[in-house]
Homo-oligomer: A and B are copies of this chain.
């Protein structure tokens, strides 16, 4: 083993770029039926690269007649060595609105050190970084330093509807010691980090009915309930004036962050004012916590939508009989998500005024927060790899958002996932003018070569304590 693989991988970065241009030229918008042909072209494109990197047993997973199949392939040439499941996805968000793009979304364009294209940051660039590193091992050594299984999804941007079935039906095929994901996103461009956890999530919708029909607000106003007022009161009552969620039982068992944890977070360079300024807002949340604590260690009940009555142009003198809200929840480590979600629903029901009815529906299965254990060998290997490339160790950080796939992988395959993408969270994925920093490409390639080599050096038994 030498630096020859890294050298080769970096020396061929032009080929990486050519391929990235070809990959991003394919409008693989999974949610758009009109792009079914482009999705198939994209699968064929990737299958060619995967074969070139020496992978075998290629197959497609999931239903062929609906949605978009995931690609699978493997190189299992080192009995007794660890096996990594490497994840990425080939579908992209829709490009609309076109008129806000400064260059065509399916024509990779470089400006000021940034490569612009739909899907380039999420997830084509990072996925191709992983494949480029894997191909470099093939080109130089003719083999990989460990066993690798590839799982490249085509439905990530449409909610991964087939993934639970794919995992359950192919659990043996996909079995591995850990998953290394080329998806996700680095927190910040100015701080080297590794993400070690995400909040769990839940959600539901509610409809409140206070009368059989809308009533004239002049003829009846003041003597009958108004569904919008009652909804406003219900929703305002979810938090107290200190920003704390007040639903009885909601935080039962949720530990307060301890002094060490708080000190560690306080030590992360983070400018609350600049953070809020960039969003055109002010820091606001539960009293007594910093912004990072609020994002990483505290739960939320968020209103995603709220509506009722006349919402069109002009006035209408109506006392609405129905009001609606869409609500999602986030759960930090240590919170029993299912119990907490039930507590919110129970509180809304308990506070529904007499004579009104509350329908709670589309209740999602609440998922607990995910955390990669600090001692997990792949997490350590990723840290080592980043240190080798950057000269210093990454900070461990969490994210406020949720990673449903990570929960699914843990539940079905019993393994941990480390996110090792080289996109950055500010790169406007899901928005016009998505870009990837050009400098991230060599960093990512070098880091993927380094982590594969380090993971290959691990004793397979080191993973055992972390497998479910």
Residues of A within 8 A of B (CB): 198-199, 201, 203, 210-213, 215-226, 228-229, 231-233, 235-239, 276, 279-286, 291, 294-295, 298-300, 302-311, 315-321, 323-326, 328, 330, 353-355, 362, 364, 399-402, 425
Docked-complex contact A223 and B304, CB < 8 angstroms: no
Docked-complex contact A303 and B309, CB < 8 angstroms: yes
Docked-complex contact A232 and B309, CB < 8 angstroms: no
Docked-complex contact A232 and B236, CB < 8 angstroms: yes
Residues of B within 8 A of A239 (CB): 229
Residues of B within 8 A of A319 (CB): 302, 304
The CA-CA distance from A201 to B233 in the complex, in Å, is: 24
Residues of B within 8 A of A315 (CB): 203, 304, 326, 328, 362, 364
The CA-CA distance from A228 to B324 in the complex, in Å, is: 12
The CA-CA distance from A399 to B317 in the complex, in Å, is: 15
Given contacts A222-B298, A315-B364, 15 further A-B contacts (CB under 8 A): A198-B218, A211-B281, A212-B280, A217-B300, A221-B330, A222-B330, A223-B291, A223-B295, A226-B303, A231-B306, A232-B306, A235-B236, A304-B318, A306-B323, A315-B362
The CA-CA distance from A199 to B217 in the complex, in Å, is: 11
Residues of B within 8 A of A224 (CB): 276, 279, 281-285
The CA-CA distance from A215 to B284 in the complex, in Å, is: 14
The CA-CA distance from A224 to B284 in the complex, in Å, is: 5
Residues of B within 8 A of A324 (CB): 311
Residues of B within 8 A of A321 (CB): 280-281
Docked-complex contact A231 and B232, CB < 8 angstroms: yes
Docked-complex contact B284 and A353, CB < 8 angstroms: yes
Whole-angstrom distance between the Cβ of A322 and the nearest chain B Cβ: 11
The CA-CA distance from A213 to B100 in the complex, in Å, is: 16
In the complex formed, the residue of B with least CB distance to A229 is B303
The CA-CA distance from A237 to B330 in the complex, in Å, is: 27
Docked-complex contact A217 and B354, CB < 8 angstroms: no
The CA-CA distance from A306 to B328 in the complex, in Å, is: 19
- Name 14 A/B residue pairs within 8 A (Cβ), A-sorted: A198-B218, A211-B281, A219-B295, A221-B300, A222-B285, A222-B286, A304-B317, A305-B308, A305-B316, A305-B320, A306-B311, A307-B307, A315-B328, A315-B364
Docked-complex contact B213 and A279, CB < 8 angstroms: yes
Residues of B within 8 A of A402 (CB): 218
Docked-complex contact B401 and A218, CB < 8 angstroms: yes
Docked-complex contact A309 and B280, CB < 8 angstroms: no
The CA-CA distance from A280 to B214 in the complex, in Å, is: 10
The CA-CA distance from A399 to B219 in the complex, in Å, is: 7
The CA-CA distance from A224 to B213 in the complex, in Å, is: 36
The CA-CA distance from A220 to B291 in the complex, in Å, is: 9
The CA-CA distance from A334 to B308 in the complex, in Å, is: 32
Docked-complex contact B310 and A308, CB < 8 angstroms: no
Docked-complex contact B222 and A295, CB < 8 angstroms: yes
The CA-CA distance from A318 to B319 in the complex, in Å, is: 28
Docked-complex contact B309 and A308, CB < 8 angstroms: no
Docked-complex contact A299 and B222, CB < 8 angstroms: yes
Docked-complex contact A355 and B281, CB < 8 angstroms: yes
Docked-complex contact B400 and A219, CB < 8 angstroms: yes
Q: Which of A217, A231, A233, A236 has the most CB of B within 10 A?
A: A217
The CA-CA distance from A353 to B243 in the complex, in Å, is: 13
Residues of B within 8 A of A279 (CB): 211-213, 215, 220, 224
The CA-CA distance from A320 to B279 in the complex, in Å, is: 12
Closest 10 CB pairs of A and B: A212-B280, A218-B401, A282-B355, A211-B281, A228-B303, A305-B309, A236-B236, A232-B235, A307-B307, A305-B310
